[in-house]
Amino acid sequence: MRLQYIVSLIVFAVIFSTTASSQNSKGKRKQKKKELTEKQRYEEADLFAKGIIEKQIGNYKEALELFEQALEINPVDAAANYEKSRVLLAVGRNDEALIEAKNALDNSPDNIWYKAHFAKVSRINEKYDDYVTAYAELAAENPYDLNFIYELAFAYQFTGDYRNAIIAFDKIEEFMGINERITNQKTEFYSKLGEPEKGIAEYEKLIASNPDDTRYYALMAEYCSKNGFDDKAIWAYEKIVENNPDDPYVHISLADYYAKKGESEKSFVELKQGLLNPVLDLKTKINLLVGYYKDNLSAEQKLQALELSEILMEVHKGDPLASSFYASMLYENGEYEKASPYFRDIVKAGKANYVAWEQLLFCDLYLEDYQSLANDSEECIDYFPNYPLPYFFAGVGNFQLRDFVKALAFLDAGKDFVVNNNTLLEQFYSTLGDTYNELKNYEASYSAYDKVLKLNPENSVVLNNYAYYLSLRDINLEKAKKMAGKSVEMDPYNSNNLDTYAWVLYKLKDYEGALEWIKKAYDNSGSSSGAVLEHYGDILYQLGKEIEALDYWNKAKEKSGFSDLLDKKIKNRKLYE
C-alpha cells in the first residue's frame, strides 16, 4: 500500500496541474470543464494511480476500467485520456485509441507528448494527413529538437513525400553538418524522384567535406554506376586509386562495375588486380569469387576461375584454404589428376572434411583408378559411417576390381543410409542388380532391377541391362522386348540399347527384325564393339548368310567384348550358342 500511496500523491499533483492547465486553455476543449470538489479530485487521482499500476504490471482490462472511472469524474482530464489511449493501443483497439489520443490533445493542446502520441496512433490507423500534420507542428513549435525533425522526415518518407523529406533532412544537416547517413538518405529520395543528378551533387558535397575519405568516392561511384552516369563513376573510382593505390576494394568494385556493363575482359583484369593485393584477406577473396563464378559456368569462366585460384595460391602461399580452392577449380576444369593430390593432402590434414573426401572420391572415379576408389571410400566410411555415397563408391570400386562379394556388402549396407534421394537409391539398386548378376544370383538381380524401375520407370540403363540379361537366359523374352524397346525409344542412338533390342528379337527368332536393329547399332558406333559385331554375324548366319557372318565374326575378333564361343565359330564356320 506504501507504493500506491506514493503514486497517488505524485499523480494527484500531475492531475491537479493538468486540470489547472486545462482550465486556463483558450476554449479548445470539446467539453466544458466542470468544477471538481476536493474529494472528487482525490478520488480521480486515486483511480488514475491505480490505473497506472495495473497498466505497468500488464493488467490492461483493470487499467482500462480504472481510467474510464477517472474520466467519469473528470471527462476532460488529458492525462487520463492519454493513458487510456495507450492501453487501448496495447490491446489492439486502435480506432478507439485514436479517439482518446485526440481527446487528450484537445484537452491539452500544448503538450508535445500528447501530440506525438496522437501522430503515432494516426499513422497506425492510416490517418496519414493527421500523422504528418502533427509532426510538422511539433517540428515548427520545437525548431531545435532534432528528434521531432527526424520524426517529420520519417513521416514524409513513410507517406512518399520525398521532396519534403529532403527539406527535413536539410534542416537536420544544418544542425549536424554533412554526414554520410544523411547524404545516403537524400540521394535515395532523389533517385525515387527521378532526379539522380541532384543525388550526385549531394555526394559531391560529401566528398568536399572530407576529400581524403575514399569511402565517399566509392559511394558516389556506385550511385553513378547504378544511375547510368558512367563518366562520373569512372572519375570516382580513379580518385580512389589516386588517393589510396593500396585500397583492397577499389579494383573489386571496378570489376563489378565492368561486369555489370558487360565488359568482361576489363572486369577480369580488375578482378586479378584486386586478388593480387595481399591486404585483402583470403576469405573475402574467395567469397567474391564464389559470387562471380556460380551457377552453370562456361568453359571460359572455368578457366578464368582457375587462373584466379592460381593467383590466390601465389599470394597466400601455404594457406590450406587457398589450396582447397585451387583444388576445387582444378576439379571444375576436369583436371582430376592434378586435383587429386591436393584433395588427398586436405583429407590427411583434416579427416573430418567430408567435402574434400567426396571430391577425392570423384577424382578416383573419373580417373578410373578403381583401386584408389575402393581404398579411399573404405577409409572415408571409417570417418563418416552414416553417409551413403562412400558406400556406393566402395561398391563401384570393388565391382570394377571384380571383388563382387565385397562390392555386395558395401552396396547392401549403404543403401539403408539413403534419405530423400531417389536418384542415388536408383544407383544403389542398379549396381546391386549388376553385382548379383555377376554372382549368378539372378533372382536377386532381377529383384534389384525391379526396385529401380519402381523408383524410376524411365531408367534406360536398367531397362537395357535387365532386358539383355533376360535374353541371355532365354526367359521372359516378351518382357525383355518391351523393356528393350522402351530403352531404344528413350535413347535411340545408343549402340548398346540398339544391340540389346536386336538381340532380344534374335532370341524371339525374329531374324529379319534383328538384322534391321543390329544395322542401326553398327551405324551408331557399334562397329567398334566386339559384342555388336559378333551378334551381327550370328544374325546373318541364321538368315543363311554364312560367308557374311564369318566376315563379321572375324571383325569382332579384332575388337573387345566378344564371347568365349567366338573362336570356335570362326574355326568351324558354324554358329554355337
Q: How far is 476 from 482, CA to CA, in rounded Å?
A: 10
Domain borders along the chain are 1-126
Which CATH entry fits the domain spanning 1-126: 1.20.140.10, 1.25.40.10, 3.40.50.300, 3.40.50.720?
1.25.40.10
- The pLDDT, as a whole number, for residue 362 is 97
User: In angstroms, how far is CA 61 from the centroid of its own chain?
Assistant: 46
DSSP code of residue 317: T
- The pLDDT, as a whole number, for residue 1 is 38
- Under 8 Å between Cβ of 245 and 279: no
Q: How far is 47 from 65, CA to CA, in rounded Å?
A: 9
For residue 401, the tally of other CB atoms under 10 A from its CB is 14
- What residues of the chain score a pLDDT lower than 50? 1-30
Query: E strand or H helix at 54, and its extent?
Result: helix 38-56
Helix 336-349 vs helix 320-332: angle between axes, to the nearest 10 degrees? Answer: 150
Alpha carbons within 13 A on the beta-carbon side of 323 = 14
- The pLDDT, as a whole number, for residue 415 is 97
Direct distance between the N- and C-terminal alpha carbons of the chain, in angstroms, rounded to an integer = 109
- The pLDDT, as a whole number, for residue 296 is 79
Q: DSSP characters for 142-196?
A: STT-HHHHHHHHHHHHHTT-HHHHHHHHHHHHHHH-S-HHHHHHHHHHHHHTT-H
- The pLDDT, as a whole number, for residue 14 is 43
- The pLDDT, as a whole number, for residue 15 is 42
Q: How far is 321 from 292, CA to CA, in rounded Å?
A: 18
Q: How far is 329 from 306, CA to CA, in rounded Å?
A: 5
Q: pTM (2 decimals)?
A: 0.64
Helices (H), 367-510: 370-383, 388-400, 404-414, 422-438, 442-455, 460-472, 477-490, 495-507
Q: Grid coordinates representing 363?
A: 577424382
For the stretch 302-326, pLDDT in tens is 899 999 999 999 999 989 999 999 9
